[in-house]
Structure 1
Amino acid sequence: MVFSKRFFSLSVISCLSFFSLNSLSAQVLLTNQILDLRSESSFGKDIHKWSFKPGDSPRITETAEDDVFLDEDSGEIKAHIFSYAQPTLEESVRTGWISGFQIQTGWDKVTDGDGELYYPDFSKYMEKYKGYGWYRTEIIVTKEDIQNKFKSKNLTVRLGQISQADAVYWNGKFIGGTGLHLDTDTDVQLDDKSLYSDKIRFYRIPYHLLKVDEPNVLAVRVYAKYPLSPGLSHDKFYVSSNKYSERAEYWNDFKKIFVIVLTLLLGSFYLYWQFLFRNEEHATIYFALGSIFMALNTLFQSQIIYSILNDGFLIKKIEYVTWIALVHFLFNFIVRFAHVRNGWIKLTNRYIDAAGLVSALIVIFAPNLFFLSKFFFYWSFVTILLGASLFYIIFLGRKVPSMGTVSFGFFAFIMLMLNDVFVEMQWEWYPSHTFVKDYAFAAFTVSVALSIVKNMIDSRLLVEKQKEEKDRLSRYFSPAVMETIVTDKIKLGGEEKDIATLFSDIVGFTTFAEKNPPGVVLDHLNTIFESLSDLIFHYSATLDKFIGDAIMAFWGAPKQTELDAYHAIACAVDMQKRMVEINQELGLEPGTFRLRIGVNYGEAIVGNIGSVKRMDYTVIGDAVNTAARLESHGIPGKVAVSEAAFLAAGGETYIEYEDTKELTLKGKSEPVKVYFVTKVHPRT
């Protein structure tokens, strides 16, 4: 078994009492469809009686028997019958059997009536009995069982995990074996590749061997080369219909395949999600690699692998290597996910990674299964500190988004692993005999997937919030300025640029305000500003501010183009046209509201002006003042454009005007030539 899982136990021992209650349900069997063969009571039901005898059985050779094999040395076909497997034991082999032996506990863990271990020293057992032992029990299958429970006489006996090889006999006939075969001679020492401690056995009972309403003798020959839960131990032992056992096999395979597919899909999805939004986040890589090795680990713990590889030792090596990789990738994932990889944690992380690489190499070159298991036993104690440190790291990263969800999954992962540790250790006070490791990493992976979903939801809410903020900002700033604010590129200061500036003022609005209630005045002003603002934004301008009933806008910042002056003049001409439409929409007499507009082009300072706590994105300078003066000296309903703006917009090629004037403006030593523009021609 995977002894490395024990490194979690000390970290969460305080939670054991709660989990042990939940584990009770793990040993519940569908007793209405099977005949339970376990030797421990379940919820008040009677225990199933088993007997055990150490050592191998003497052989009986009878040519008339059906169980035969080819003796390659003599070239003869001989029967190979064991005395201990016979339905009725001869007088010579009746003694030495221990009754009431527990099959769910390795024979080195079973005690007698005085609480003393029967076989405390495995090495002495191995020396005396060569690692062999026999189990026997009587099973009565009634007609009622056939009709109501099994609904068939085609039955299968399911034996849970047997350490480390077995051969099974029903009423004296060989019906199957794993590691041991019909022709495996007495006291033969198997090599490590023939040991399958984790394989679940399903053996069909031949139809003609089944006795109804009579005792059926089930005898199991077991072999244990190493002190690794020797004998019949762990999991479920029962008789069922072939159909039920097939479903059980399919279900076991399905669970493994489900975990494999789930871990691969969620790992790939998480990798895609992180690469899509956080390319610098290395936690994604470690989670994806952890998912891959978890899938491999699950595969090599499944019954599927035994149909692919016929080497139990190799299977166990690969299982342990993938587990080491999984543990280290999990550690790296949480460290990076919690964003605490610095200082001593970073240095420790390097040593842990190096230790993991060395551990994997030791596993690969392990000489035998016992060395491999012992190494993992000690390696697991070293990694206890690793498990404890993960809780500390989770605590340090508790403020990281979705860390709570990941922490819950990690906790579930530990609790499920802890169940398997206790089952493996065969502690009498622990009620469960069922492994749930199939669901451990799946639970953690699902929690990480939930964190992804949570991040997606949070990201969507953040996007919606940003959109709402943009919508609010768009009411105060132009799109260009709004993007600058949202992208956090604001800093105090400015720069010199060629700017096209537009000033407009509503003529007749002051008189209208004197004659109408404030509410009507404000409603009309907002209607005018909303319509003109849309037009200004349409021409990609920065709407600087509203000054009473005046508007200030400029082109050339934050983005500058060669068409800034042209767009300013085109916008001004359309504003005059729009003002005529606004009077009609408001139901006012033509000419009630008119615009004076002044446009200038020249060098100005643009940027964030004011203080750190309160600033305006605006333009200042002589060119701006000139535009304001042009507006104030302009003619209602006309667009006054300076010569500089006129020429920058393309001159007479694109701009039509009805008149020009020389205006003397305040602050100007020389008159300014002004064009009163009436039309703008299209320009690419």
Structure 2
Amino acid sequence: MVFSKRLFSTFVLPFILLFSFSQVSAQVLLTNQILDLRSESSFGKEIHKWSFKPGDSPRVTENTEDDFYLDEDEGEIKAHVFSYAQPNLDESVRTGWISGFQIQTGWDKVTDGDGELYFPSFFDYMEKYKGYGWYRTEITITSSDIQNKFKSRNLSLRLGQISQADAVYWNGKYIGGTGLLLDTDTNVQLEDKSLYSDKIRFYRIPFHLLKIDEPNVLAVRVYAKYPLSPGLSHDKFYISSYKYSERAEYWNDFKKIFVIVLTILLGCFYLYWQFLFRNEENATIYFSLGSIFMALNTLFQSQIIYSILSDGFWIKKLEYVTWVGLVHFLFNFIVRFAHVRSGWIKLTNRYIDGAGIVSAIVVLLSPNLLFLSKYFFYWSFFTILLGGALFYILFLGRKIPSMGTVSFGFFAFIMLMLNDIFVEMQWEWFPSHTYVKDYAFAAFTISVALSIVKNMIDSRKMVEKQKEEKERLSRYFSPAVMETIVADNIKLGGEEKDIATLFSDIVGFTTFAEKNPPGVVLSHLNTIFESLSDLIFHYSATLDKFIGDAIMAFWGAPKQTDLDAYHAIACAVDMQKKMVEINEQLGLEPGTFRLRIGVNFGEAIVGNIGSVKRMDYTVIGDAVNTAARLESHGIPGKVAVSEAAFLAAGGEKYIEYEDTKELNLKGKSEPVKVYFVTKVLPRD
């Protein structure tokens, strides 16, 4: 809870405040380096006046100027000259212009002084004017503007999103176009692939066409085939220095590339996280796929894509397909992240996945841009319903760690998506004209990233805690048993295995304990056990238990090898050598403490023996009892090895001994042959 409050105050609250301010001041450019051309007012100050003329312009037939451009297929083509683009309008084309016409609002949304729509029916407009219209405005650029504002005579014109094609003229000369070329004839109906409603236009103003301290005429020929916010309807419109616009265009591309690279990296990171830590779940996989689709969606929204594809219709199709995939992957992510197991939610999720597949197919098979846009517009309201369902799912999974963080991000995601829907609808009460899809997903991504980071921190703490637990358990259990305990793979029961068992007892310790204080006795015993335990672990044994001053260890479980008997005998020999060193280390006379060691090899039961509440990982059976009897009948300072262990270790080829005996052991009907081993030879 504390983490969520800190997150809200540190990240979410400033983001909401910044977003709220951007909605209020979306039309205000806080810079003195541009000349704003938008027609709306800010702080009571009129920004710019435009005029609008429905329909296409007649061509100028008598024209002596020769404007040509080179077409790769057609060769040299002469430009068409339009009457509406001329600096001075002839008497025949001066009438019919609507002055004070607002840009940043589709021409089918603009009202006159009485509040009546100028063009209430786009289809009537299309039938009468073939979808064409012209915007005109006069721009006076002073010497002071050149010197103080632009600091350059190389100027650039930025026109935001124009629906759906345009050609731009400066003082009667064509300076650029998108969809409409300078030789596009009057009333020509363009194909959908030539419609670019989302492309931001940057047109350089030729130096020789620029007039200083006198009016410049900007004329924009627009074409809208469908009722999708026709005309100059979105974003920023201004004049700036070419260097400034170049930086702005570079910054827009940089933001898109940054989002693309970041989301792909996040997707790859979440996949890595999935395979590394969360193999039992697939929530992170869905978020990874969502991140990748967001990267693709950002690419198809960016200006970069126009240098790759020239078909505006297919760019829009691919953008919508990636957006459909993004929404459905995020829905699946949250359902799985919240660990919602209800049957009806699973069934609903399947239907939603099916709807996503159908939506993607419909988008790809859309016959025209109008059908595509309308379908996606209504599908956007479907995503709002999904958002409402996800809020309920988030509520059900509210106890999941980090769910609060993800919920904040999802809430910001939904709110910013609503912004884009309202912008598309161009409702007058909603002041924004800017799409914020990238920022919407970024807000959600940041929240999920923070939750992942928090989970990583918690996992790191868990790993540290597990490490401390291992260190604590290592004082009581052998490494193999400790790993079994930590992995929580413990259950009652056992299995038969060939086990090498070692028993050792300290000779002389009882006498020492009678003559010394308990503290000294305990200190010496701990020193002996620590040294011998390290040696036993060195030979990969399982240290079963300490029995008074005795040690029991075995080889062959949990891991079994062909060298178990060999390692048991080698360890026993080294323990006898180590006991000599321990006496010296404790400052005792040689032989004060000696070891009696017995080693046997044979079939035994190994496993967790006891009860559910209290169990020991140990070995039982006749082979174990025989090892204990060998130790009790052994000779101090010697290693007593049964014939079974001697042969399993490789016999005389690897084991040297000084004597053999036949011992009658308790519980054995036949004598047991015992080898008193002195040396173990190295093996390959």
Common topology (TM > 0.5): yes
| 1:579 Cα offset (Å) | 0.9
State how far apart, in whole Å, the 1-side matches of 2:78 and 2:301 are: 37
Instruction: Work out the CA distance in 2 between the residues paired with 1:67 and 1:640.
Output: 111
Q: Do the aligned partners of 1:104 and 1:233 also contact (CA within 8 Å) in 2?
A: yes
**Deviation by residue 1:584-638 (Cα, 9 ceiling, x = unmatched):** 1111222222222233344433221211000111223344334334333433323
After TM superposition, the structure 1 = structure 2 runs for residues 311-350 of structure 1, keeping only pairs within 5 Å, are 311-340=311-340, 343-350=343-350
Q: What are the ranges of 5 or more consecutive residues in structure 2 without an aligned counterpart?
A: 1-14, 71-75
Name whichever of 551-560 and 284-293 sits farther off.
284-293
Aligned to 1:507: 507
Structure-1-length-normalised TM-score: 0.87
83-92 or 103-112: bigger deviation: 83-92
Give me the whole-angstrom Cα distance separating, in 1, the residues matched to 2:483 and 2:17. 57
- Counterpart residue number, 2:637: 637
Identify the range of structure 1 (468-477 vs 343-352) with the bigger mean alpha-carbon deviation: 343-352
Q: Distance in 1 between matches of 2:297 and 2:77?
A: 43
Residue 189 of structure 2 aligns with an amino acid whose one-letter code is Q
Separation in 2 of the partners of 1:343 and 1:489? 31
User: What CA distance in whole angstroms lies between the structure 2 residues aligned with 1:552 and 1:309?
Assistant: 76
Measure the CA separation in 1 of the matches of 2:363 and 2:605: 72
**Aligned residue in 1 for 2:491:** 491
- The 3-state SS of whatever aligns with 2:181 is coil
The aligned counterpart of 2:418 is 418
Partner of 1:42: 42
CA separation in 1, counterparts of 2:327 and 2:543? Answer: 59
Q: Offset of 1:213 from its aligned partner?
A: 1.8
Distance 1:650 1:662 in 2: 20
Aligned position for 1:256: 256
Q: Call closer, same or farther: CA 1:225–1:561 in 2, change over 3 Å.
A: closer
Does the aligned pair in 2 maintain the 1:61–1:79 contact within 8 Å? no
Seen in structure 2, the aligned counterparts of structure 1 residues 534 and 154 have a Cα distance that, compared at 3 Å, is: same
Match of residue 157 from structure 2: 157
The worse-fitting range, judged by mean Cα deviation, of 566-575 and 55-64 is 55-64
Please tell me the residue identity of whatever aligns with 2:224: A
Equivalent residues of 2:270, 2:285 under 8 A apart: no
Match of 2:221 in 1: 221
Please tell me whether residue 590 in structure 1 is matched to residue 605 in structure 2: no
Q: Offset of 1:344 from its aligned partner? A: 2.7
Residue identity over aligned pairs, in percent, reads 88
Decide whether the 8 Å contact of 1:61 with 1:78 is kept in 2: no
Q: Take 1:501 and 1:368, find their aligned partners in 2: how far apart are those partners?
A: 82
Residues 69 and 79 of structure 1 are in contact (CA less than 8 Å); yes or no, is this contact kept in structure 2? yes
Q: CA 1:512–1:62 in 2, change beyond 3 Å: closer, same or farther?
A: same
CA distance in 2, matches of 1:17, 1:228: 31
Q: Alpha-carbon deviations, 1:265-312, whole Å to 9, x = none? A: 332343344345556655555445444443333232222333444332
- CA distance in 2 between counterparts of 1:195 and 1:665 reads 100
SS of 1:544's partner is strand
- Taking only aligned residues, the RMSD between alpha carbons, in angstroms, comes to 3.2
Number of aligned residue pairs: give it: 665
Deviation, structure 1 residue 117: 2.6
**Deviations 1:526-552, CA, capped at 9 Å, x for gaps:** 111000111112222221111222212
* Structure 1 residues 92 and 601: alpha-carbon distance in aligned structure 2, compared to 1, 3 A threshold: closer
- Residue 384 of structure 2: aligned partner: 384
Contact 2:26–2:431 under 8 Å retained in 1: no
Residues 664 and 180 of structure 1: CA distance in aligned 2, closer, same or farther (over 3 Å): closer
Kindly state the Cα deviation for residue 335 of structure 1 after the two structures are TM-superposed. Answer: 3.4
Q: How far did residue 209 of structure 1 move? A: 2.1
Q: Contact 1:234 / 1:424 at 8 angstroms: preserved in 2?
A: no
Counterpart secondary structure, 2:381? helix
Deviation larger for 601-610 or 657-666:
657-666
Cα distance change on mapping 1:644 and 1:187 into 2, 3 Å: closer
Q: CA deviation at 1:119?
A: 2.5
| 2:199 paired residue number | 199
> Could you tell which deviates more after superposition, 664-673 or 110-119?
664-673
SS across alignment from 1:595: strand
* Change beyond 3 A, Cα 1:121–1:639: same
Distance 1:650 1:135, change over 3 A: closer
More displaced stretch, 57-66 vs 238-247: 57-66
Is the contact made by 1:27 and 1:434 (CA closer than 8 Å) also made in structure 2? no
Deviation readout 1:236-276 (Å, 9 max, x if unpaired): 00001111112222222222333333333332343344345
| Shift, 1:39, TM fit | 1.4
Q: CA deviation at 1:147?
A: 1.0
SS of 2:138 mapped into structure 1: strand
Alignment-derived partner of residue 29 in structure 1:
29
Deviates further, 438-447 or 507-516: 438-447
Quote the Cα distance in structure 1 between the aligned partners of 2:591 and 2:180: 108
**Aligned AA (1:485):** I
Residues 65 and 79 in structure 1, CA contact (< 8 A), matched pair in contact too:
no
**Amino acid corresponding to residue 516 of structure 2 in structure 1:** N
Is the 2:164–2:222 contact (alpha carbons within 8 Å) kept by the matching residues of 1? yes
CA separation of 1:53/1:17 partners in 2, compared to 1, >3 Å: closer, same or farther?
A: farther
Higher relative contact order by CA 8 Å / sep ≥ 6: 1 or 2? Answer: 1
Relative to structure 2, which stretch is displaced further, 386-395 or 87-96? 87-96
3-state SS in 2 of match to 1:604: strand
Cα 1:619/1:77, change in 2 over 3 Å: closer
Residue 10 of structure 1: aligned partner: none
Letter in 2 for 1:377: F
> 1:334·1:394 contact (CA, 8 Å) conserved in 2?
yes
Matched, 1:361 2:374: no
Aligned residue number for residue 620 of structure 2: 620
Query: Counterpart of 2:5?
Result: none
Structure 1 residue matching 2:225: 3-state secondary structure: coil
Verify: 1:532 aligned to 2:543, yes or no. Answer: no
3-state SS of 1:87 partner:
coil
Tell me if the contact between 2:270 and 2:288 (Cα under 8 Å) persists in the aligned partners.
yes
142-151 vs 276-285, which deviates more?
Answer: 276-285
State which drifts further: 277-286 or 585-594: 277-286
1 CA distance for matches of 2:122 and 2:490? 77
CA 1:133–1:631 in structure 2 vs 1: closer, same or farther (change >3 Å)? same
Closer, same or farther: CA 366–493 of 1 in aligned 2, 3 Å = closer
| C-alpha distance in 1 between matches for 2:169 and 2:642 | 110
Mapped partners of 2:367, 2:610: distance in 1:
78
Q: Supply the AA of the counterpart residue of 1:591.
A: G
Structure 2 CA distance for aligned equivalents of residues 516 and 79 of structure 1 = 115
Residue pairs, 1:34-433, within 5 angstroms: 34-43=34-43, 45-65=45-65, 80-275=80-275, 281-283=281-283, 286-340=286-340, 343-399=343-399, 403-433=403-433
Distance 1:609 1:205, change over 3 A: same
Partner SS state of residue 335, structure 1: helix
Paired with 2:519 and 2:213, the residues of 1 have a C-alpha distance of 100
Letter matched to residue 637 of structure 1 = G
Alpha-carbon shift at residue 581 of structure 1 (Å): 0.4
TM-score, reference length from structure 2: 0.87
Amino acid at match of 2:203: Y
Q: Does the 8 A contact of 1:63 with 1:78 survive in 2?
A: no
Mapped to 1, the partners of 2:177 and 2:588 lie a distance apart of 102
The alpha-carbon deviation at position 202 of structure 1 amounts to 1.4
Q: 1:622 & 1:547 partners in 2: Cα distance?
A: 19
Alignment partner, residue 11 of structure 1: none
In the TM superposition, what is the alpha-carbon distance from 1:159 to its structure 2 partner? 0.9
Q: CA deviation at 1:407?
A: 4.3
Instruction: Report SS of the residue matched to 2:174.
Output: strand
Q: Alignment partner of 1:383: what SS?
A: helix
Cα 1:77–1:21, aligned 2, differ >3 Å: closer, same or farther?
closer
CA contact (8 A) 1:131 1:223 kept: yes
Look up the equivalent residue of 2:379 and give its one-letter code: W
Match of 1:8 in 2: none
Residues in 1 aligned to 2:460 and 2:77: alpha-carbon distance in whole angstroms: 76
Distance 2:62 2:416 in 1: 51
AA aligned opposite 2:148: N
- Rounded to whole Å, the distance in 2 between the matches of 1:244 and 1:650 is 85
CA distance in 2, matches of 1:667, 1:349: 68
CA distance in 2, matches of 1:640, 1:103: 102
* Matched-pair contact (CA < 8 Å) for 2:79–2:183: no
Q: Do the aligned partners of residues 341 and 164 (structure 1) sit closer, same or farther apart at CA in structure 2, a change above 3 Å counting? A: farther
Amino acid at match of 1:535: L
Deviating more after overlay: 157-166 vs 59-68: 59-68
Preserved contact between residue 77 and residue 183 of structure 2 (Cα < 8 Å): no
Q: Offset of 1:35 from its aligned partner?
A: 0.7
